[in-house]
Amino acid sequence: MARRHEDRKPGQRFERSGSQRRPAGRPARGPARGTAGGPARGVRRKSGIRVTPAAPARELDDGKVRLNRFLAMAGVCSRRAADELIAGGRVEVNGEAVTELGRRIDPKTDDVHVDGEAVRQEKPVYVLFNKPKNVVCTNARHEQKKRVIDFLPEVRGRLFTVGRLDLDSEGLILLTNDGDFAQRMTHPRFGVPKLYSVELRGRVAQRDLERARGGVWLAEGPTAGMKIKVERVIGDRSQLKVMLREGKNREIRRVFAKLGFPVLELKRIRIGELTLHGLKPGAWRFLQRDEIEDLVRLATTAAEPVGGGDQ
């Protein structure tokens, strides 16, 4: 359907300027401008200009913290999940339901309940554990199999695993009561690298490696791809080192199964710069302050926007 130019004067001709049409004889306008004198949105998107959002305002130094942060620090859940609890009216402060997401509280004096249960701020705990096979990453009380937390009876307070390793997998896993820290370690946006030693059934070929590196479509969508190094191929076995920065459920097993190479052995051997050194299967240790800071710094750096390049 042809465009109508209801404001065109009789006999007036139009000339093209790029993708715009303008009346003949009228000078072309300069580049589109935004409301603040900068490039308009379309120009920014086309030229690849990155716009940095303003930094969030700092909380007042009055001892109070945001309610969602308090819930995360208490190990209830991540900040994002806490916002959902608050919006759903499931959080009470001093006996009154709170639905205001920006509500700030005093952890020392305010009484907080979630679904009727009191929430107490605990001292943050960070543990590195070498998970054996046939151990599950759940806190379910009626679980029949041995749980990761059953190996840490002397650690007081509520702990939960940061992410999961399935029943047949082994190696490093973190435990904490800090929901905010757990969110940073597991969310794909932060991209904390995790290295795995993997043994496959079959002689993996270069084309299969390229498919895995480029991303494979799973039920919940495409994977972000993985870094792969072939250690050795012997007989009908292939041994690899695989690095992930996202971590969909059982991603490595599902990707290689889809490519026709069942995973026979899978061990997580590194999280960030943390390794298995000094930890036998079933053993654990507390993280040092500098190790925690390094992990948080790594997550922060990985989350910063990068202009054009691959991860």
Catalytic site positions: 166
Separation of alpha carbons 82 and 101, rounded Å:
9
Name the amino acid, one letter, at 185: M
- Helix/strand number for the chain, H first, E second: 7, 19
Place of tokens 């543990």: 127
Distance of CA 62 to the CA centre of its chain: 31
DSSP 20: E
Handedness of CA 17, 21, 23, 27 (dihedral sign): negative
Non-local CB neighbours of 252 within 8 Å, separated by 6+ positions: 196, 198, 226, 242, 244, 263, 266
Residue with tokens 């042809």: 2
